[in-house]
Amino acid sequence: MNDNRPIGVFDSGLGGLTVAKEIFRLMPNERIIYLGDTARVPYGGKSEETIRRFGLQDAKVLMDKDVKMLIVACNTVSSVAMDYLQTHIKDIPVIGVVLPGARAAVLRSAEKRVGVIGTAATVRSGSYARAINNIDPGIKVYCKPCPLFVPLVEEGLIENEITQMVVRHYLYEMVDLGIDCMILGCTHYPILMEVIQSTVGNRIQLVDSALWTAKEAQNILQAMKMTTGDDVNGLQSSKFLVSDITPNFETVAETLLGVHLPGIEKVSVEELEEKQP
């Protein structure tokens, strides 16, 4: 039995398009309705109360579109507000990006020394450390906020000398700690995968939380027999909602998704704020 309803994916901005990219790669028939709250990005420096409120507003916009699954493709919201969202949304599966990335890191760390890089809010929450230590209490987790990575990606400075300097500034300390695995704890960060890998060396495995979240979504949909039929072109029939269309929006979106973005619609901040608990 198939379920042709779309998958709802949201992020504070456009970084969650890396999750969408992996969904289309693994499940090309699946349609997505993506919501990027580009008017209020970033969430990473906001209070936990505000992050929870914004996250639930984003989720409710997608629930109104009759999605069959909700993916919180924002590490900040996944770190701070997953329990809160799951208490308000019970009719469909709700998954975040933290637990899939944590599971993948545990399986890959032979030395039991894992690094996590992310936004200030993600690191401050301690969510990755808790998730990893719930699986294996013997693993040491070292976390590092890298707040300049997101603006570098959004400015298109992917292989720029400035980006290389910033990556070295943040990550040399992590290398010195002897980690053998590093979680990219922000959905923008996979775009910097090559420069990060060249900086930390091949001894350290990088875990892309976007990839492992898409794999978890695939496993759940298959187990629940909720996959879409084979006659659907997922990407071309998907919709992309944003709360603000910035001047470099399409350039950044195509960098993150890897293809031209079809079906762009604007949702006003006022519409989001109507979706109160």
DSSP assignment of 94-138: EEESHHHHHHHHHHH-SSSEEEEEE-HHHHHHTHHHHHHHHH-TT
Looking at 74, 143, 146, 181, which residue is catalytic? 74
- Catalytic, 143? Answer no
DSSP assignment of 224-235: TT-PPPTT--TT
List phi, psi (to 5°) of 35: -125, 120
CB 40 within 8 A of CB 269: yes
Torsion of the alpha carbons at 70, 74, 78 and 84, rounded to the nearest 10: -60
E strand or H helix at 21: helix 17-26
- Catalytic, 74? Answer yes
Q: 254: closest CA among 157, 163, 156, 186?
A: 156
* Catalytically annotated residues: 74, 186
